[in-house]
């Protein structure tokens, strides 16, 4: 190898390397764009909804609970002593969806056994943080999720 | 870092051997035509890349396939582009594969001691054709569905086992959901495994045995020094740079085609309505057209026989020791005639049952591909 | 057997309007019947005399046919014309009631049939305004001016919509993304149809507002946006291909240079 103009040759090789990097970058970039997470296909309405549509108030009897989607995410609504109580349905431990146990009168998480009261307070671990309370109003069209309880 | 592996695996001699192999000179006659193989390799790599991306959103099944392709094209960012790359990529692979096989034939690369490389190559060719055949059905639109119906008609005419063979292929009495399932499994798992194994073998043999010289097979091969003296360049980096050039140009061509002529999606498959002018993909047109001239029983055996002929080429058909094209004019002539016939059949298949206007006169081509002047 | 079933279900497609000769009214009122036979009410609507005038169409006894108990109202007076037409055309009738012509007692005012005719009712079109306004209004009058403004406004809106709708239609055949334009076209068409009904109020500002909605962001302009985005995409393609080739050729040039440079 001639040592004349070693800088030019190095610059040259660097340019070629850049070309390779550019090609790989192009491939990776298009793949990244393609794989980018897309907006959810599920649209949320202000009324509690499941895959079967809006939940009707009549479906929810005394001491029964139902989990559905809302603008606040998944929400658990329980009818207790005639009144509707709502809490976030995502367990604060590792994210599983909780359910209402009418017999025990507690909200239970099936994954690791966490227990919450109807106001969201933790009764038994491994969860530490309480479930956020959600305001629910029964209307003719369905169960309107109003937002967090202030 | 390197030392950690080298201590445990004793890589140094391996790497030295590899490097020596890569530095070996290729014969002087090796020109740009010898870069087609690596271009095909790059195209296959891209097919795997786009194929995996498509696989993420594609849903096999008669009910879901079409909609999933619609989603890829309409909703997924660059989805249409990836699909177009995949569709055009398939076409380009077949074109360059044919060119590559012609090059190998002309330069007698299939002769002793490289018969095995050639046979693996023929198998690779068959695998690529089956890739195209199975992939074509996956969008489940009218063209895909009925093209597959037409293409699977032929096996039924094999005596005795024909009808059952066809039903076994289809997974039922007609093209349907079981067919789609089979073709999908083949296209996405079985064929890629077979392809990759064959490719590794093919590439290993080529590097291990080197590119053939143009001397007679009964003469000793030239030593690397002799090759260098005749003007042969090292494989790496000289020939590799040529490979890279062709690869970049071919990929540029592919991207251009995918952007300027994006893949289309027809109407959803309707088993009850056959659209007009259904034909298989262009690389199956020669076989399709042939079946119009000879009885189906005969015609259906010719494509497998053709593959058989290719396999037997170095073993039985052409055992002459000559490699240099100038001294093999008869063999090349026969090959040219065969290729010409295949291309002619393909052209006839393309124009059959269509109207074409040539130099201002409109012709109607009948089912056999014969032109009839239109009565104005 | 199945042919009969097919015919049974396909019958409405091939249905002919009922034979007017069998309608008893026409045996005496043959001039009116002749007119009615050319109307859209008869040919497309398949209506009979009794659908507006009441009564029994096939009763040969005039007393039976024209019995008030059968709903017979005879020839509607000025007050009643709008009510009869409004049975089906409640939209236009409602707008008419807001317009300058709504006082039916004033004999100078038109009723529905003054402009649309009573029996030989043809498809309502903007051209109708040319024929009918001049019956009462002078050519350079303010009333004619108003009508003309409305006519021009609707025509411009309809032409714009039709032009864009045709373009969307022809492009949709081979470009999937154009389907997004369909809702805009549909919305614009719906507003234009209610604008046609609203013509009867003869309110220039109202029509201008409605046509603006037809041509606006949620109508034709929205569709044009989709078409524009497609054409923009088409324009971008050759530029992207050019950029790709520049990149490829630069790399190829580097490989070439490297090769020449090697010993």
CA C75, CA C58: separation in Å to the nearest integer? 19
Dist. CA A54–CA C75, nearest whole Å: 54
Chain C residues 237-256 with a CB less than 8 Å from chain A: 247, 250-251, 254-255
Query: Residue C8 above 60 pLDDT?
Result: no
Mean pLDDT of chain B: 92
Whether the pLDDT of residue C121 is over 60: the answer is: yes
Banded model confidence at residue B2, pLDDT cuts 50, 70, 90: confident
- pLDDT of C3 > 70? The answer is no
Q: What is the DSSP string of B256-307?
A: HHHHHSPPP--SBP-TT-PPSS----GGGHHHHHHTTTS-HHHHTTHHHHHH
Question: If we measure between CA atoms, which residue out of C139, C51, C115, C118 comes closest to residue C87?
Answer: C51
Q: What is the ipTM metric for this complex?
A: 0.88
pLDDT band at C111 (very low <50, low <70, confident <90, very high): confident
A35 contacts B75? CB cut-off 8 A: no
Partners of A138 in beta bridges: A143
Q: Note down the domain range covering B218.
A: 33-272+296-340
Contact between A78 and A64 under an 8 Å Cβ cutoff? The reply is yes
Confidence band of C12 (pLDDT split at 50, 70, 90):
low
pLDDT band at C240 (very low <50, low <70, confident <90, very high): very high
Summarize the confidence of residues B113-128 as an average pLDDT: 96
pLDDT value, residue C245: 97
Cβ-proximal residues to B258 (8 Å cutoff; 6+ apart), any chain: B81, B84, B85, B87, B88
C5 confidence band (pLDDT: 50, 70, 90) = low
d(CA B353, CA B355): 7
pLDDT at C7: 56
Rounded average pLDDT over C157-176: 91
Q: How confident is the model at residue C20 (pLDDT cuts 50, 70, 90)?
A: confident
pLDDT in tens, C59-84: 888 888 888 888 888 888 888 888 88
What stretches in chain A show pLDDT beneath 70?
1-7
Of A1, A13, A19, the CB nearest to C251: A19
Would you say residue B297 has pLDDT above 70?
A: yes
Across A103-117, B142-156, C7-21, C75-89, least confident range: C7-21
Q: Give a yes or no: residue B345 inside a domain.
A: no
Where does the pLDDT of residue C1 fall: very low under 50, low under 70, confident under 90, or very high at 90 and above? low
Residue B44 predicted with pLDDT over 80:
yes
Q: Check whether B146 has a pLDDT greater than 90.
A: yes
Residue B357: inside a domain: no
Verify whether the Cβ–Cβ distance B53 to A36 is below 8 Å: no
Average of pLDDT values for C88-96?
Answer: 87
- Average pLDDT of the residues in B197-213: 94
Helix (H, G, I), strand (E, B) or coil at C136: coil
Is B53 within 8 Å of A35 when comparing Cβ atoms? Answer: yes
Q: Confidence band (pLDDT; 50, 70, 90) for B69?
A: very high
Question: In this predicted structure, what is the pLDDT of residue A5?
Answer: 61
* Residue pair C24/C60 in contact by the 8 Å Cβ criterion: yes
| pLDDT at residue A10, rounded to an integer | 84
Averaged pLDDT, B290-311: 89
Whether residue B259 and residue C244 make contact (CB cut-off 8 A), yes or no, is yes
**Pick from C247, C258, C263: CB nearest A16:** C258
Question: Mean pLDDT lowest for which of B3-12, C124-133, C145-154?
Answer: C124-133
Which residue of chain C is at minimal alpha-carbon distance from A2?
C263
**Residue B93, min C-alpha distance to chain A (Å):** 19
Q: Which residues of B touch A31 (CB under 8 A)?
A: 49, 53
pLDDT tens for each residue of B318-371 = 888 999 999 999 999 999 999 999 999 999 999 888 888 888 788 888 888 888
Q: What is the pLDDT of residues C126-151, one digit of tens each?
A: 888 888 888 888 888 888 888 889 99
- Among B93, B146, B123, B130, smallest CA distance to B280 is for B146
Residue B263 lies in a domain: yes
The alpha carbons of chain A give a radius of gyration, in whole angstroms, of: 27
At the topology level of CATH, where does A49-148 sit?
Rieske Iron-sulfur Protein (2.102.10)
CB contact under 8 Å between B252 and C259, yes or no, is no
Tell me the average pLDDT across B246-262: 96
Decide if C14 touches B, using CB distance below 8 A.
no
Asked if residue B233 is part of any domain, the answer here is: yes
B245's tokens:
């050039």
Number of domains chain B is built from: 1
pLDDT at B369: 81
């Amino acid at each position: 190898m001639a040592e004349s103009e070693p800088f030019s040759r190095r610059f040259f090789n660097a340019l070629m390397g850049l070309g390779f990097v550019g090609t790989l970058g192009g491939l990776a970039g298009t793949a990244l764009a393609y794989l980018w997470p897309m907006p959810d296909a599920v649209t949320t309405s202000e009324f509690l909804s499941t895959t079967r549509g809006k939940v009707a108030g009549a479906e929810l009897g005394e001491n029964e609970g139902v989990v559905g989607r809302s603008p606040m995410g998944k929400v658990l609504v329980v009818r207790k002593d005639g009144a509707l109580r709502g809490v976030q349905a995502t367990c604060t431990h590792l994210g599983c969806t909780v359910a209402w146990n009418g017999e025990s009168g507690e909200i239970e998480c099936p994954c690791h056994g966490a227990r919450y009261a109807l106001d969201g307070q933790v009764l038994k671990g491994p969860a530490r943080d309480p479930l956020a309370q959600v305001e629910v109003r029964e209307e003719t069209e369905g169960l309107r999720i109003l937002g967090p309880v202030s | 870092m390197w030392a950690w592996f080298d201590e445990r695996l004793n890589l140094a001699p391996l790497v030295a051997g590899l490097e020596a192999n890569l530095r070996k000179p290729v014969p002087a006659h090796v020109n740009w035509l010898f870069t087609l193989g690596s271009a095909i390799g790059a195209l296959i790599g891209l097919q795997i890349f786009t194929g995996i991306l498509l696989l993420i959103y594609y849903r096999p099944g008669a009910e879901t396939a079409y909609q999933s392709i619609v989603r890829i094209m309409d909703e997924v960012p660059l989805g249409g582009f990836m699909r177009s790359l995949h569709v055009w990529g398939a076409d380009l692979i077949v074109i360059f594969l044919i060119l590559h096989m012609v090059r190998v034939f002309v330069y007698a690369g299939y002769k002793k001691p490289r018969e095995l490389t050639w046979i693996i190559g023929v198998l690779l060719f068959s695998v690529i054709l089956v890739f195209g055949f199975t992939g074509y059905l996956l969008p489940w639109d009218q063209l895909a569905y009925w093209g597959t119906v037409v293409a699977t008609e032929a096996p039924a005419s094999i005596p005795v086992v024909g009808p059952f063979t066809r039903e076994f292929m289809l997974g039922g009495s007609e093209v349907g959901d079981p067919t789609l399932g089979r073709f999908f499994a083949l296209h996405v798992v079985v064929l890629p495994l077979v392809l990759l194994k064959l490719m590794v073998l093919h590439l290993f043999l080529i590097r291990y045995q080197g590119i053939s010289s143009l001397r007679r097979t009964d003469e000793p091969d030239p030593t690397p020094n002799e090759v260098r003296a005749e003007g042969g360049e090292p494989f790496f980096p000289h020939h590799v740079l040529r490979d890279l050039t062709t690869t970049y140009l071919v990929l540029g061509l592919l991207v251009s085609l995918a952007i300027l002529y994006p893949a289309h999606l027809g109407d959803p498959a309707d088993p009850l309505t056959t659209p007009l002018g259904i034909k298989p993909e262009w690389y199956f047109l020669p076989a399709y057209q042939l079946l119009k001239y000879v009885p189906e029983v005969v015609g259906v055996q010719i494509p497998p026989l053709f593959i058989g002929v290719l396999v037997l080429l170095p073993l039985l058909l052409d055992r002459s020791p000559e490699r240099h094209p100038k001294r093999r004019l008869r063999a090349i002539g026969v090959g040219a005639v065969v290729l010409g016939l295949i291309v002619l059949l393909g052209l006839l298949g393309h124009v059959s049952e269509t109207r074409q206007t040539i130099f201002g006169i409109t012709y109607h081509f009948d089912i056999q591909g014969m032109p009839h002047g239109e009565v104005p | 057997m199945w042919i009969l079933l097919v015919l049974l279900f396909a019958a409405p497609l091939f249905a002919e309007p009922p034979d007017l000769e069998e309608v008893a009214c026409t045996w005496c009122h043959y001039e009116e019947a002749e007119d009615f036979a050319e109307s859209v009410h008869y040919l497309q609507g398949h209506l009979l005399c009794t659908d507006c005038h009441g009564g029994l169409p096939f009763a040969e006894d005039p007393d039976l046919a024209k019995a008030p108990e059968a709903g017979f109202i005879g020839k509607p007076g000025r007050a009643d014309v709008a009510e009869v037409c409004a049975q089906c055309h409640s939209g236009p009738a409602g707008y008419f009631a807001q317009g300058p012509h709504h006082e039916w007692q004033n004999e100078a005012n038109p009723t529905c049939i003054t402009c649309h005719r009573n029996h030989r009712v043809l498809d309502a079109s903007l051209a109708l305004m040319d024929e009918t306004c001049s019956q009462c209004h002078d050519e350079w009058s303010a009333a004619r001016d108003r009508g003309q403004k409305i006519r021009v406004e609707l025509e411009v809106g309809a032409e714009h919509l039709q032009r864009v709708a045709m373009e969307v239609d022809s492009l949709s055949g081979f470009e999937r993304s154009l389907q997004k334009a369909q809702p805009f076209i549909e919305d614009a068409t719906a507003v234009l149809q209610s604008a046609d009904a609203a013509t009867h109020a003869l309110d220039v500002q109202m029509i201008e507002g409605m046509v603006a909605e037809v041509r606006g962001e949620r109508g034709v302009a929205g569709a044009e946006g989709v078409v524009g985005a497609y054409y923009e995409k088409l324009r971008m393609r050759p530029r992207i291909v050019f950029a790709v080739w520049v990149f490829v050729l630069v790399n190829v040039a580097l490989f070439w240079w490297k090769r020449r440079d090697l010993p």
